[in-house]
Amino acid sequence: MSAADMLRTLADRVEREPHSWELVLAIECALHPDVKISAIGAPPRMIERASGALYTPQAYPTSLDAAVTLRPEGAAWFVSSDDGAGVILRGKPVDYEGNRPGHPAASLTAAFLRARAAIAEANQ
């Protein structure tokens, strides 16, 4: 599976699955190939980078502040009144999801993952 396909698959999961740390960890691993899960158990779980640095992953699908950290450089974004979200990359819409009422952070997370997939595909 290509990196772009993996990111699209994760975006689909964010839209249809309830929030879970397993999903957050899958996003972290897709975005940062140098990470490994260093502690299994009740959240917050720690992630370790190849450098040895430990950090707690953010709850992207439930926090707008966390979701915004996924924004690719140069991407514009919005959250709509129906709790959907969209991303504009290089002047073109990449994604808009308005089907997650009550979950704007999940919509924005999915939109940013799809924007990153578009970038990965363009760079292949």
Report whether 120 contacts 1 (CB < 8 A).
no
Number of domains making up the chain: 1
The model carries a pTM of 0.83
Residue 72 vs residue 19, higher pLDDT: 72
Residue 46 lies in domain: 3-122
pLDDT digit string (tens) for 82-109? 657 778 888 887 766 555 555 788 888 9
d(CA 19, CA 41): 16
β-sheet bridge partners, residue 37: 47
Angle between helices 3-16 and 21-31 (to 10 degrees): 160
pLDDT digit string (tens) for 47-89? 777 777 777 788 888 898 999 999 999 888 888 766 577 788 8
Is the predicted pLDDT of residue 27 greater than 70, yes or no? yes
